[in-house]
Amino acid sequence: MTQLREINEKYIKEEIDARKNLELALNEAIANLPKEKSNILKLHELWGQTTKIKCRLAILDSLNTDAETASKYECLANEYTAEAHFLNSTY
């Protein structure tokens, strides 16, 4: 049980860090492309909706198992990182 908790905590921390990095990338993209603020925010909202659905589908095999939490947060971290990379590449 301790090992499972440690694994879950690792992925939860990765998700938190990725979310913070995404917020920084979002703010930087808006600061560097102020005329595109509306589009950046719209894309962020749509990307968030896509991430929620994508991660839900990605973890179907692990629902109601010990791996569910880790799988969910790993997926979220990966998607937030991908969005941040995209935003950082736009300016």
Residue 51 scores a pLDDT above 90: yes
Residue 44 scores a pLDDT above 90: yes
Q: What is the pLDDT of residue 91?
A: 82
pTM of the model: 0.92
Instruction: Name residue 43's amino acid.
Output: L
Q: What is the CA angle 11-62-56, rounded to 5? A: 75
> How many CB atoms sit inside 10 A of residue 22's CB?
23
Residue 25 scores a pLDDT above 90: yes
User: In the block, which residue shows the tokens 């913070």?
Assistant: 20
Residue range 38-61: average pLDDT? 97
